Structure 1
Amino acid sequence: MHHTSHTGPEVFNERTEPVFDAGREPSPDQVPSIGRRNSFAESQFSMGRSIQRVRSTRNIGSMLQDFAEEEPTPVEIRRRKRPGLAQRVLEYIFPPGSMLSSAFTLGSSTLGGGILGLPFAFNMTGYILSIILLVVVSILTVFSLWLLAHCSDNARKRTYEDTMKVLMGRGPDWLVSIFMCGFCIGGGVGYIISIGNLLTPVFENEGVPHFLTTKPGNRLITSMVWLVLILPLCLPKQIDSLRHTSLLGCLCILFFVICIVIDASRYTYKDGFRKDLEMFGHGNTAIEGLGMVMFACLVQINAFEVYFEMSHPTPRRMMRDSAIAMGACGLLYVLAGFFGYMRFGKTVTASILLLYQPGESVLFAIAYVGIVFKICVAFALHQLPMRDGIYHLLGWDVYLMPWWQNAVFCTFLSFVLLLAGLFVPNINIVFGLVGSLCGGFIGYIFPSLMYMYSGNFSLKRKGYCLYFATYFLLVVGCIATVFGTGASIYGVAA
């Protein structure tokens, strides 16, 4: 078909090259319907649309150019300054959202006060049974995190509570918030108690003022540690802001475990193995140790924050990073629990920190300082999911509210936990009860149920391995919650 030629203006793009010439026949790329009867009219309509797009592009380009030519403010000038050498090195080795960043954040959220009570858990459960429990719980934790990543992708939500609400409706999301707050309150209280336990042997040396050796003096110094170290770490909105402190905290735990191994090896070389070590515990005390193991390995409270702050979040990457974190943490748990139990045997009835004298060893003096810092980081990592749970109940969004409002609320939460931690007598009561009850639901029962309700959960679609593994996680969570909570309550009453 031959078109009647006519004159018309040329349309230019931003590089001043002709896009469409109305004076010649359009190409098939420019007019797809050229073989139709009304092809000329359609070519004219296409030319008009091209003119509109070019004009729109020119307008947007001019607006952006005008915006770019504005005089930068002093704040923008400071933000554009080149970061220092140390910061550039850290960002290169440890970039935000990377594999190392996610693994260390996950590891730091589980490494904390829980490792201080593991020698006591080995004492109650027996060292062989405790190692078996640690291996099983670590594997189930990695699988649980993989399920949570899938559930988050299906629900398209970035918090535990919102994901539960989308998949299971209104009601269960409130249970998640309640259990999350309960677990984080217990963890925060336990960390405050741990700081007090750290200070107790330090102030038992000669030359220390008498007031600091009393309970009020211990509470005063603990409050000062909270004000200087803990509170600033609780104020950021995003968990990835704590990645560098998480790395340093994990290194402090590693150094502390090395000190435990060295001290236990020296004792065994000098005096031989203790005669009161048990391979398998029995009775109610063996079940009570399960709650402390579950508390030590529970990392699901920070799973959603870590997942959505990855550079490329996928369930496979979540499994990879969590396997790295739990593998390293599980090894440290086994070393700390076994060598601490081998060193003190049946005399371990509370936190292992109470059995060392940092004034008698330079290594333990350094380790105690590192443990204080690590506990402060773990406290902040426990407060973030509790904050999100309360925000969910109140209908607030942490990413939309002003920074000062979040800071004021987090300060209030942290202060309440400080007051509770100053007056709770025993750390094992907190870790055992909270780990069994809240940890069983958050770490095992809720992830398996959410995955079942996320759709297409059948033996045919999921396969035998994934199908039965999900049910196994649910059953283990129910058993651990019922028996672990019952044993912890019985232990408190006894």
Structure 2
Amino acid sequence: MEMEKLGDGEDSLMLNGSVSESLNTDRVTLEDGYDAEEPCSQEQEGFLQHVSSQKTQFTDFEGKTSFGMSVFNLSNAIMGSGILGLAFAMSNTGVILFVILLISIALLSSYSIHLLLKCSGVVGIRAYEQLGQRAFGSVGKILAALIITIHNVGAMSSYLYIIKYELPLVIQAFLGLTEPTGDWYLNGNILIIIVSILIILPLALMKHLGYLGYTSGFSLSCMVFFLCAVIYKKTVISCPLNATHTEHHVYTNGNSTTEESCTPKLFTVNTQTAYAIPIIAFAFVCHPEVLPIYTELRRATKKRMQNVANVSIFAMFVMYLMTALFGYLTFYGEVDSEMLHTYNKVDPLDKLVLSVRLAVLVAVTLTVPVVLFPIRRAIQQLLCPGQDFRWWRHILIAVCLLITVNLLVIFIPNIKDIFGVIGSTSAPSLIFILPSIFYIRIVPKEKEPLFSRTKIQAALFATLGFVFMIMSLSFMIVDWVTTGRSNMGGH
């Protein structure tokens, strides 16, 4: 296999030629400029591979996804249903504290991706599960695969829950119906099955994640439309809210008549403030998708992929900030944890709001296939590492995953708390803990001693992840005990 420098210094090495897979151990020259023993068992979708004495031809493509399409895919992976709860988070932290938290989490997420890419460059691996194996053996591989699977199944389920409950209401409103009729096309369980079969499954059967760049771009455009509508609604909805009414509904609240309720707060601390931090933190979870997108990036180098990540995080930071700010300045303390519900209280038949809800539905629907790819990759790493690509296996895993998620959404009506626990454990693991401990274990002591500045930073980063995890779980337990319900939001 021929190696070719791409000009980005020691962080810019790419392997060209035929892509091969092997379970053998080879001596290879790595991105960071030294040799290491490297197990070459890789997943099929274009990971960096190395020549071994027993080639196993898996696929013969090298990364062909453009920089822009990669940005679309990663941005779509970052953009989750949590954007609907950011205005609620701002109302419970205040504008300045929210901005500080948002900037901090965005920077921490970028640093986390830097650690992942650094580990990938050191050992020539672009699979999260294989990084786990390199760091801690089979236990690390299984742990990484399970965390990715659990987190992304939870994310897929949250998106399908939005479809289940919002799509019937949108159809009902567009048909001009004031009450549900019981017809099949207003049954959320039937609708998620139809959407899964007709839209999600065909996209999930794409061979390579890069092909979803176009649908990711369209999904993001739907969220831009949502942002534009939020900004516009700020100009037409008066404060207090009981000053805005239609013949259909008057939304009143005893506290809305005071001048204080229409004044933005810069710093706020209340019983709901604790939930704001996890909501903001989990809004930037995209780490299971980083390495698959890196795999398919054209002219892939660590520097180029870091630029993809930075552009994506910055774009989502701007969208998050604008959505939260204008949503909060519209409703102030009256904003719901799901912002679209607040607009619905003002005027349930507002055509613009209905269009926005439809756009959000399209966005979350097109995000599901992007989230499914890392789960399939993790399952294949566990069950059939190093095997040739097979369409039947590619299709079977996607079908089984969609059936499982649909059954969860249909038969477990109160799954919010379960996913809250999953999100409180898997998200900090993916953002903070795993990238840090992988970095400490994988980067050789000869290159960076254990007590070097970078490894100490990584250790502190992992500690922060444990703090987030313990804090999130503690707040949820206290909330369950005191109120019997959970207000946890997330990605």
TM class by shorter-chain length? 0.7 to 0.9
Give the deviation of 1:151 after TM superposition.
0.9
Assess if the C-alpha contact under 8 Å between 1:156 and 1:163 holds in 2: no
The TM-score with structure 1 as length reference comes to 0.73
- Shift of residue 226, structure 1, vs aligned partner: 2.3
User: Is the aligned partner of 1:369 residue 2:358?
Assistant: yes
- Shift of the alpha carbon at 1:302? 0.3
Map 1:64-143 → 2, pairs under 5 A: 96-143=64-111
One of 246, 253, 261 as aligned partner of 2:231: 261
Q: Unpaired segments of 5 or more residues in structure 1?
A: 1-94
Residue 289 to residue 431, structure 1, CA distance change in 2 (3 Å): farther
Q: CA deviation at 1:278?
A: 4.5
Partner of 2:287: 300
Which position in structure 2 is the counterpart of 1:232?
Answer: 202
> In the TM superposition, what is the alpha-carbon distance from 1:257 to its structure 2 partner?
1.0
1:11 aligned partner: none
**Is the Cα–Cα contact under 8 Å of residues 76 and 216 in structure 2 kept in the other structure?**
yes
The separation in 2 between residues aligned to 1:492 and 1:356, in whole angstroms, is: 28
Residue identity in the other structure for 2:129: E
TM-score by length of 2: 0.73
Q: Please report the RMSD computed on the Cα atoms of aligned residues, expressed in angstroms.
A: 3.0
Aligned twin of 1:289: 276
**What is the Cα deviation at residue 108 of structure 1?**
0.5
Residue 439 of structure 1 deviates from its aligned partner by: 0.7
Query: After superposition, where does 1:64-463 map in structure 2 within 5 Å?
Result: 96-199=64-167, 201-203=169-171, 205=173, 206-207=176-177, 210-212=180-182, 217-268=187-238, 274-275=261-262, 278-282=265-269, 285-357=272-344, 360-396=349-385, 400-425=388-413, 429=417, 432-456=420-444
Query: Shift of residue 396 of structure 1?
Result: 4.2
The counterpart of 1:479, out of the listed 426, 445, 467, is: 467
Q: How do residues 44-59 of structure 1 correspond to structure 2 at under 5 angstroms?
A: none
Asked if structure 1 preserves the Cα contact closer than 8 Å seen for 2:75 and 2:316, the reply is: yes
Contact 1:350-1:427 within 8 A present in 2 as well: no
Cα pair 1:103 1:321 within 8 Å, conserved: yes
443-452 or 193-202, which moves further after superposition?
Answer: 193-202
How far apart, in 2, do the equivalents of 1:427 and 1:274 lie? 34
Q: Give the letter aligned to residue 365 of structure 2.
A: C
> Contact 1:264–1:340 at 8 Å: present in 2 too?
yes
The letter for the 2-side match of 1:450 is F
> Are the equivalent residues in 1 in contact too, given 2:92–2:270 (CA < 8 A)?
no
CA distance in 1, matches of 2:156, 2:74: 17
Answer yes or no: is the 8 Å Cα contact 1:257–1:332 preserved in 2.
yes
Unmatched runs of 5 consecutive residues or more in structure 2: 1-62, 244-258, 485-491
Please say if residues 172 and 186 of structure 2, whose CA atoms lie closer than 8 Å, have aligned partners that are also in contact.
Answer: no
- Quick check: which one's helix share is greater? 1
Q: How far apart in 2 are the matches of 1:353 and 1:145?
A: 32
User: 1-side partners of 2:320 and 2:262: how far apart?
Assistant: 23
Q: Distance in 2 between matches of 1:368 and 1:340?
A: 15
Map of 1:73 onto structure 2: none
The farther-off stretch of 127-136 and 100-109 is 127-136
Aligned partner letter, 1:173? K
- C-alpha distance in 1 between matches for 2:193 and 2:434: 35
Which amino acid in structure 1 is aligned with residue 283 of structure 2?
Answer: A
| Maintained 8 Å contact 1:142/1:323 | yes
Cα distance in 2 for residues equivalent to 1:117 and 1:443: 20
Decide which structure has the larger Cα Rg and report it.
Answer: 1
Number of positions where the alignment pairs a residue of Structure 1 with one of Structure 2: 399
Q: Is the 8 A contact 2:145 2:378 kept in 1?
A: yes
Q: 1:212: how far off?
A: 4.7
| Secondary structure at 2:352 match in 1 | helix
| In 2, Cα distance between equivalents of 1:122 and 1:425 | 28
